[in-house]
Chains A and B, each alone.
Chain A
Amino acid sequence: MFFIETEYFCSGKFFLITRNIIVFMVSISFLNPLSPEGKDIVRELGSLEGISEDIPQLRSIVTHNPSQEILDDGEIPSNFLELALKRIEWHIKKKHDREFNGRRYAYLSDDKITKYDVISFYLLCQAIGVKFGPNSRETRVMVESQGDLINERLGKLHADEGRSMVEKSLQMLLADDQVHWTFFEELLSSRKIRLTDLVLDQGELILDQEDFLERFGPKIKHRNPMSMYQLLIGDELKELIMIKLIMQETEDYIKQVHEKAEKMVEPNPILLELAEQVSEVLSEPMQSYGYGSGRGGGGPLKAGPLNNLAFPPCVKKALEGIKSGGRNDAIVLFMTPFVSYARLYPDVFRMNITKRVSDQDPNLEITENEVLPLIYEAAQRCVPPLFDDQPQEKVNINAKLGFGMHSSLNMNHEGETTWYTPMSCEKIKLHLPHLCKPDDVCKKIGNPLSYYNRRIWEVNNLETEGPETPENGDSDNSNKIEASEVQKGTGEDNKSNESTDTTGGSA
């Protein structure tokens, strides 16, 4: 299965004659394999037959690259599949390996590999699309790696050449001269770009210099409008938009592959094998250098008693009790998932495996004795105390733990609802802006649970290394949240099965 039929292959190189100098131009497909030129390269290949055969030419390009460092012959990709894996490996190592050496992957920025690189790109997208689908970690990494690679390649190109390639790519990607900001809906929705990054006027994205000068020139005082254009738009914004659009197209392409593959009987075993190998490349750093956790240590993060020293500022504030509106959201939607995951499954985002509460707490003892009491305590510290006027919220707390709309936690009901994962910082800022008082650690994380994991590791490390003992004689145990310290659930649960309607009315 390879989705583009054979057609004539355009050479990877073009010639441009400017001011009587012949300039070799890099193919657009070196940056955007999904461009018509890239598709032509795939058409020329036609099928996957012989895809794993050695390509001496590729080896030769790699070994002849002057910047290339080769420690071991095994590092040299000798076919399309190996090159595909190297693309992913480069991105993962660059991101996570402190000893990463870019010179060992110098060939990835050599435009001579364009023809092979494009094929390896399609192989990756198809393998990941077939096996993992668009909402997988593999897709996310593939899309990120493509963005990363374009950036790297642009950095290595001569400035003029890079600029001209970006212009040309953008012309292809932006169908029209006048682009309304809603054209970027997908990029905005997936937060690949921020609306505030764009320069807008009357709804249109301003990228062109003449357009900029015409619209904003008269408004600019005490500065040269041309240099302002260079600073605010110039190469940087154009590159950003081009890269993000290609990333989005990559994601869309994987999605298309996935949809097509679902209708097919048997996926190609070569693609399935490649998918497995991609997965292995991704799991390697998780074992060797703590992929994605931001922690210094390796290995999985074990669940353990909660330690309030490691709580982020928003959780600390919610624990004090909510005094100004938003009680329900703060307790049910924010605290319930945070406390339960922090106590039972702090690794949820790293593991990327959906679990139930009982997978982590088989007889629900910890949930009943540690998790719920802490949530209830925060609820009762609200003004007015949450359960005094809204006892039905206990049912909603159970629902967010995955136990359906019932007044008590019962294993028979588990799975009727989903165990909600903790709200991201982004969501907290919108739903509960009063809780968000970020400190320095907050700058490095996007979810309060990541904050907790980062801090708990530091706090625990301090404890094992022997922390500074408080002089007032309080042991650091005072920071552990023990069941006995907090109020236990009472029997005043509301029997109602009505859900809290989040789509409330607005005055």
Chain B
Amino acid sequence: MDLKPANPNERRQYYREEWDVKNVPDFILKSLIQREFGFDHMGRGPNDRYRVFKNTDFLRKFMRYRAPFAAYSSVAFYHKPRRRDGWIKAELVFDVDAKDIPIRSCGCENVCEVCLNQAKDIVHGLVDTLKGDLGLSHIHVVYSGRGYHIRILDDLVMGADSDVRTQVVKYLVGSDVPRSEYSSHGMKYNLEHFTIPFGYPQVFTHRVKQALLAVNMDTEIDGVNKNILKAVIKHRDLLKDDQWGIFRKNIGPVRYNKLVKGIASLNLTLVDAKVSIDLKRILRLPSSLHSGVSMISTEIKNLETFDPFQDAVPKFVYERNE
């Protein structure tokens, strides 16, 4: 499918014929009056900021008549959203952009089915950790048009400051190599991350596995040369059965350490950390049109079965005369 931009007529058609204010997820509608809205009318960035809608009808009318190039709403809840003042709390969000995945198996210029699928796999892993390790449950996953947004509305984390969010990002993406030296009663022991089937070491193991299965000979990882990459590609099938010990032995322990260190530093770009730590960010409004690629930003009910090329394509795309 050709991901070309939507023209103004197509935008108008979408907002008049297809879009319904009811398609905006409840988690946004419920807090409508506390959120700031922002719009991009010309495709040059969201310059029309500080918008507030008293009710869904005002939002409906605005969208229908202005048919914006892009629509955004704040992750933050404010007492005075019109002035972005009186910050109450903010969703904890993670932005996985298919274009920015650090190790992409496709090598395409923009986004394609392959990297979008890869982004979906990453989102799967992140959501598992958010639930299983961090015990969060009010999690919404939204297809953004070029990737995915994970939006968390558990009260326990919505008041967290940027520093706490930074720590969550690092845990989630696996940006630190877990220590391998442990001591007990004066004795030192070696425990590699893959021998620990829980907690952060397990998260790290999952992220490293995902990365190693995606590398190719063109992948650039700090401190990792072509020989190491070659060895990874040769032996990585072992990881499918979680035979990490043999894999590490085949790569060589010193080279293995370099490899995981390089991947840990790349992992920090699995999500756009700036988005996660910004307490006043605006994010693309689910249900709105991503005019750059003519896709609908869609809240996902079932990540397993979601296919953006089936479930997020506006009608006008099918009506185009190629």
Name A's B-contacting residues (CB within 8 A): 180-182, 185, 188-191, 194-196, 198-204, 206, 215-216, 219-223, 227-228, 230-232, 234, 236, 426, 429-431, 433-434, 436-437, 501-507
Query: Which of B46, B197, B275, B290 is close to A220, meaning CB atoms less than 8 Å apart?
Result: B197
Stretch at the interface among B19-27, B130-138, B246-254, B313-321: B130-138
22 pairs across A/B with beta carbons < 8 Å? A181-B135, A182-B160, A189-B161, A194-B176, A195-B170, A196-B200, A199-B199, A200-B134, A202-B133, A206-B199, A219-B197, A219-B198, A232-B196, A431-B274, A433-B273, A502-B278, A503-B280, A505-B282, A506-B72, A506-B95, A506-B282, A507-B70
Residues of B within 8 A of A430 (CB): 166, 169, 268, 273-274, 277
Given contacts A190-B163, A203-B134, A232-B182, contact A507 B290 (CB under 8 A): yes
Bound CA span A244–B164, Å:
16
Nearest-CB residue, chain B, relative to A325? B100
Closest Cβ–Cβ distance, residue A165 to chain B (whole Å): 18
Q: A216 near B167 (CB under 8 angstroms)?
A: no
Q: B146 near A507 (CB under 8 angstroms)?
A: yes
Bound CA span A204–B189, Å:
26
Q: B183 near A236 (CB under 8 angstroms)?
A: yes
From B136, B161, B164, residue with most partner A Cβ within 10 Å: B164
Nearest-CB residue, chain B, relative to A216? B198
Query: Which of B144, B145, B175, B184 is close to A230, meaning CB atoms less than 8 Å apart?
Result: B184
Q: A506 near B200 (CB under 8 angstroms)?
A: no
Q: Is B171 in the interface zone, CB < 8 Å from A?
A: yes
Q: A200 near B167 (CB under 8 angstroms)?
A: no
Given contacts A201-B132, A221-B197, A231-B184, contact A191 B277 (CB under 8 A): no
Interface size on B, residues (CB 8 A): 63
From B45, B184, B185, residue with most partner A Cβ within 10 Å: B184
Closest Cβ–Cβ distance, residue A429 to chain B (whole Å): 6
Closest Cβ–Cβ distance, residue A316 to chain B (whole Å): 15
4 A-B pairs closest in CB distance: A203-B135, A231-B182, A505-B46, A195-B167
Nearest-CB residue, chain B, relative to A326? B274
Nearest-CB residue, chain A, relative to B293? A507
Q: B280 near A201 (CB under 8 angstroms)?
A: no
Nearest-CB residue, chain B, relative to A215? B198
Residues of B within 8 A of A216 (CB): 197-198
Given contacts A182-B156, A188-B164, A431-B274, contact A505 B265 (CB under 8 A): no
Q: B178 near A505 (CB under 8 angstroms)?
A: no
From A196, A204, A232, A431, residue with most partner B Cβ within 10 Å: A196
Q: B184 near A201 (CB under 8 angstroms)?
A: no
Residues of A within 8 A of B81 (CB): none
Q: Is B38 in the interface zone, CB < 8 Å from A?
A: yes
Q: Is B227 in the interface zone, CB < 8 Å from A?
A: no
Bound CA span A206–B133, Å:
11
Bound CA span A191–B176, Å:
15
Q: B178 near A196 (CB under 8 angstroms)?
A: yes
Bound CA span A201–B197, Å:
12
* Binary interface encoding of chain B residues 140-181 relative to chain A, with 1 for a CB under 8 A from any of its CBs, else 0: 000011110100000011001101101111110001101000
Nearest-CB residue, chain A, relative to B176? A196
Residues of B within 8 A of A507 (CB): 70, 97, 144-147, 284, 290, 292
Closest Cβ–Cβ distance, residue B244 to chain A (whole Å): 12
A232-B182, A507-B146 known; 17 new pairs, CB 8 Å cut-off, are A182-B157, A196-B171, A199-B198, A200-B133, A203-B134, A203-B136, A206-B199, A216-B197, A227-B184, A228-B196, A230-B184, A429-B268, A430-B273, A434-B269, A504-B45, A505-B283, A506-B282
Bound CA span A503–B38, Å:
11
Given contacts A185-B164, A196-B170, A203-B136, contact A506 B275 (CB under 8 A): yes
Closest Cβ–Cβ distance, residue B176 to chain A (whole Å): 5
Residues of A within 8 A of B282 (CB): 503-506
Q: Is B237 in the interface zone, CB < 8 Å from A?
A: no
Q: A189 near B273 (CB under 8 angstroms)?
A: no
Residues of A within 8 A of B161 (CB): 189
Bound CA span A223–B265, Å:
30
Residues of B within 8 A of A201 (CB): 132-133, 198-199
Q: A202 near B132 (CB under 8 angstroms)?
A: yes
Residues of B within 8 A of A182 (CB): 156-157, 160
Q: A431 near B273 (CB under 8 angstroms)?
A: yes
Residues of B within 8 A of A202 (CB): 132-133, 135
Bound CA span A181–B147, Å:
29
Closest Cβ–Cβ distance, residue A179 to chain B (whole Å): 11
* Binary interface encoding of chain B residues 239-279 relative to chain A, with 1 for a CB under 8 A from any of its CBs, else 0: 00000000000000000000000000100110011110110
Q: B222 near A437 (CB under 8 angstroms)?
A: yes
From A181, A199, A227, residue with most partner B Cβ within 10 Å: A181
Q: A231 near B189 (CB under 8 angstroms)?
A: yes
Nearest-CB residue, chain A, relative to B189? A231
Bound CA span A507–B98, Å:
11
Residues of B within 8 A of A195 (CB): 167-168, 170-171, 200
Bound CA span A236–B197, Å:
20
Closest Cβ–Cβ distance, residue A433 to chain B (whole Å): 5
* Binary interface encoding of chain B residues 217-235 relative to chain A, with 1 for a CB under 8 A from any of its CBs, else 0: 0000010000000000000
Q: A185 near B160 (CB under 8 angstroms)?
A: yes
Bound CA span A154–B36, Å:
52
Nearest-CB residue, chain A, relative to B222? A437
Bound CA span A430–B170, Å:
9
Q: Is B128 in the interface zone, CB < 8 Å from A?
A: no
Bound CA span A203–B135, Å:
4
Bound CA span A429–B265, Å:
9
Q: Is B281 in the interface zone, CB < 8 Å from A?
A: yes
Bound CA span A180–B200, Å:
16
Residues of A within 8 A of B292 (CB): 507
Bound CA span A250–B17, Å:
61
Q: Is B191 in the interface zone, CB < 8 Å from A?
A: yes
